[in-house]
């Protein structure tokens, strides 16, 4: 059982929905990002998604793209991202960390070395947005063998013919993208999300966590009420991009977490 599996088992036992927060590693700089990362669990975050900055983030909107650029300009690397996770683990051995990003930096490092280093740093799962199920032998299967969850995304265009393929070899949880398009775009609507979550749950026992378009505590509560939890990324990253202090960012995160946990 991974930390992710254990966290969702705990949440089920407590009849609580999950709050997942995304930040870009190294944004706007290593120390500030590290301060936010360390503060997330106390702010109510159940699972942390830690973005790997990349030069060509094709699935991300302007907010996340700019965060990646800031991080890269400040000297963030894949190694420094793993270093952040390892430093976080010195004081917290229970909160799951999922690395989210693109395959290129992992491929350049070498899959075997990356998985060895990620496991040593305390990483629990991966979301690699540009590796479809047809490429499972590249990273997904080796990651599972190394004890890491491989988390897949489903979207409103993932029909019943495609869904079983998406769910094959997926573990930890399924990330449902509530709207079509890039991150940070339109707002999610519970009325649209509810039937889609029910459809997915007919095919899997995995928790279904909904992301994209969730920007307020009220929206977090509304969407969490029709799913197993919510992910917020762009709204948090936007505050960081506006120069808010780690304390201000964590206050905002706390409000979102409270919203999700009210559901």
Give the Cα separation of 216 and 260 in Å (integer). 10
15 part of the active site = no
Give the Cα separation of 48 and 40 in Å (integer). 8
Provide the domain limits for residue 37.
3-262
Give the Cα separation of 214 and 33 in Å (integer). 21
159 part of the active site = no
- Could you list the pLDDT tens digit for every one of the 263 residues in the chain? 899 999 999 999 999 999 999 999 999 999 999 999 999 999 999 999 999 999 988 878 899 999 999 999 999 999 999 999 999 999 999 999 999 999 999 999 999 999 999 999 999 999 999 999 999 999 999 999 999 999 999 998 999 999 999 999 999 999 999 876 655 556 778 888 999 999 999 999 999 999 988 999 999 999 999 999 999 999 999 999 999 999 999 999 999 999 999 99
Catalytic residue among 46, 49, 136, 221: 49
CATH number at residue 90: 3.20.20.70
Give the Cα separation of 153 and 173 in Å (integer). 9
Instruction: Please tell me the total count of domains within the chain.
Output: 1
pTM for the model? 0.96
Q: Contact 78/54 with Cβ under 8 angstroms?
A: no
Q: Contact 92/84 with Cβ under 8 angstroms?
A: no
Q: Contact 206/171 with Cβ under 8 angstroms?
A: yes
Catalytic residue among 5, 35, 56, 60: 60
């Amino acid at each position: 059982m991974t930390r992710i599996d254990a966290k969702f088992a705990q949440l089920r036992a407590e009849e609580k929905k999950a709050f997942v927060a995304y930040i870009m590693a190294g944004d706007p700089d290593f120390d500030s990002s590290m301060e936010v990362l360390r503060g997330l669990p106390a702010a109510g975050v159940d699972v942390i998604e830690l973005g790997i900055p990349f030069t060509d983030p094709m699935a991300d909107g302007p907010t996340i793209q700019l965060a990646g650029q800031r991080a890269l300009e400040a000297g963030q690397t894949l190694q420094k991202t793993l270093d952040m996770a390892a430093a976080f683990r010195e004081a917290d051995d229970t909160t799951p960390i999922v690395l989210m990003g693109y395959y290129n930096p992992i491929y350049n490092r070498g899959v075997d070395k990356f998985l060895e280093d990620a496991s040593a740093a305390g990483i629990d799962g991966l979301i690699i947005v540009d590796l479809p199920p047809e490429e499972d032998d590249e990273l997904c299967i080796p990651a599972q063998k190394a004890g890491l969850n491989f988390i897949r995304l489903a979207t409103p265009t993932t029909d019943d013919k495609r869904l079983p393929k998406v769910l094959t070899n997926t573990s930890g949880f399924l990330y449902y993208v509530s709207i079509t398009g890039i991150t940070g775009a339109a707002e999610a609507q519970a009325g649209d999300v509810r039937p889609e979550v029910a459809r997915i749950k007919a095919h899997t026992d995995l928790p279904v966590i909904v992301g994209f378009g969730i920007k307020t505590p009220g929206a977090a509560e509304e969407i969490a009420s029709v799913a197993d939890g919510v992910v917020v990324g762009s709204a948090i990253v936007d505050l960081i991009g506006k120069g808010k202090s780690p304390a201000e960012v964590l206050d905002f995160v706390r409000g979102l977490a409270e919203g999700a946990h009210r559901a």
